[in-house]
Amino acid sequence: MKKILALAAVAALTAGVSAYAANPFSDVTPDDWAYQAVSDLSAQGVVEGYPDGTFKGERNMTRYELAQIVARLMAKEDQLNAEQQATLDKLAGEYADELANLGVRVSNLEKKVGNISWAGDAKMMYTNNAKKAGEGSEDTYKGRIRLNVKGQVNDATYVQGRIVTNMWFKDAKPTDGDGNTTMDRLFVNHSFGDKTSVVLGRQDLTVFGGLEYDDAFDGAKLAYNDGKFDAYAAFGQLNAGDYDKTDAAFGGLGYDFGVAKLNAAYFNFTGDKAKTVSGFDSIWGANLVVPVQDFSVFGEYWDSNADKNDSAYQAGIGYSTLDASKPGTFALNVAYNKVGAKAYLGGTTYDANDFFDIVADKDLKFWNVFGDVVLQKNVTLHGEYAWDIENTNAGYDDNAWTVSLNYAF
């Protein structure tokens, strides 16, 4: 392709990207039909001429030269609209080999096809459960892989889904669904400006640090976040615990004061199932995180409308320099926890969690330490240890632990 024709096409791709257009090439005059395109691209730093100050637009362009232009465009992709971004993604895929030779590895380049992007993670996990031998599985060894696919519909809307497969490498049972592949997330995100969004479908829900709930819910959520203040209101059904498939209206808000971040949340469950099964149909909670350089003090408190065993809390301290791109960085936390039998939403974040089988009229109490260390870029070792576990059902030890290797791609 003639160089001048290729550059005219690229200029269409960058329409709307601002730059002061001044033509630096002696062989491109204002009378040339591509004068404006070449001038604009030169001003944006997308094209360069020869040392003698010429452009040589009639010369055929090599794939390597066009790949250089694509690489420069990729540095400006945050200024492109969805249609322009999709075109750039196609070009990046076409010239992937040349870009690799140039040493260009922009985030998600290899994962994009048109307006669709892929990401994922994998885990290899061993857990020494609290449940004693003879009472259930004393230890488990399993693997998991998850693939996230995101389709950009337009500048304000995208669709996202997640495909997951779990495999039990030791003593798999038919009820474990060993090797089954399912889609466990599917939602649409509509943005209204850069602060407000509406999300519809099966989506993630993590409340505070995840002691009470870190799983999915089916429904609709309206969210606002301006960087300091955030709030959300939602209606739907939780996907874990006793409240699985029970309608709930819930919401939360938070404010970052700089010296501390304060959050609050409230859940109200409808129908008779909530009271009958779990003993409460409403619960509120508050969470406080106080950062001190790389350290943080954190805690949360919950209170339900049950008659007894109606509260839960966590108090802890942590240290973190964790950065998945930097080997050797790590995070380490220690906490004390109390969870009332009638103050638990049922979807804790902890991997070592079989002891959350709480006796109906008691409180679960335990200490735990949990943390991560980056072994290689995007390879993290995660560990948890819980001890002094009290007031669970019979057949449990007073400790449990888990360790896992986690891979992000």
Span 249-283, pLDDT tens digits: 999 999 999 999 999 999 999 877 777 777 899 99
What whole-number distance in Å separates Cα of residue 140 and Cα of residue 397?
15
- Under the banding of pLDDT at 50, 70 and 90, the label for residue 9 is low
Q: What is the mean pLDDT of the chain?
A: 82
Residues 207 and 318 in one domain: yes
Span 186-231, pLDDT tens digits: 999 999 998 999 999 999 999 999 999 999 999 999 999 999 999 9
What whole-number distance in Å separates Cα of residue 301 and Cα of residue 286?
5
pLDDT higher than threshold 50 for residue 18? no
Overall number of domains in the chain: 2
Residues 178 and 44 in one domain: no
Residues 299 and 365 in one domain: yes
Residue 366 CB neighbour total at 10 angstroms: 23
Find out whether 377 and 351 touch, Cβ atoms under 8 Å.
Answer: no
- Could you give the count of Cα atoms lying within 13 Å of 397 in the half-sphere of its Cβ? 19
Using CA atoms, how far residue 370 sits from 324, 327, 331, 346, 403, in Å, is 17, 18, 8, 20, 10
Residues 214 and 291 in one domain: yes
Residues 232 and 285 in one domain: yes
Span 377-394, pLDDT tens digits: 999 999 999 999 987 666
Highest averaged pLDDT of the listed ranges 97-111, 159-173, 276-290, 321-335: 321-335
Domain membership of residue 9 as a residue range: 3-113
Residues 125 and 84 in one domain: no
pLDDT higher than threshold 70 for residue 38? no
Pick the residue with more confidence: 263 or 8?
Answer: 263
- Domain final residue pick, 113, 146, 167: 113
Residues 285 and 309 in one domain: yes
Instruction: Give the start-end residues of each E strand in 193-256.
Output: 196-206, 214-225, 229-238, 247-256
pLDDT higher than threshold 80 for residue 241? no
Residues 296 and 162 in one domain: yes
Using CA atoms, how far residue 237 sits from 6, 279, 381, 383, in Å, is 53, 18, 33, 30
pLDDT computed for residue 327 by the predictor: 95
Residue 168's identity, in one-letter code, is W
H-run or E-run covering 268? strand 261-269
pLDDT computed for residue 155 by the predictor: 86
CATH code of 137's domain: 2.40.160.10
- Domain final residue pick, 63, 86, 113: 113
Highest averaged pLDDT of the listed ranges 43-57, 88-102, 249-263, 344-358: 249-263
Residues 98 and 243 in one domain: no
Residues 123 and 253 in one domain: yes
Find out whether 241 and 344 touch, Cβ atoms under 8 Å.
Answer: yes
Residues 164 and 57 in one domain: no
- Domain final residue pick, 87, 113, 139: 113
pLDDT computed for residue 315 by the predictor: 98
pLDDT computed for residue 14 by the predictor: 54
pTM of the entire predicted model: 0.72
Residues 169 and 94 in one domain: no
Q: Percent of the chain having pLDDT more than 70? A: 73
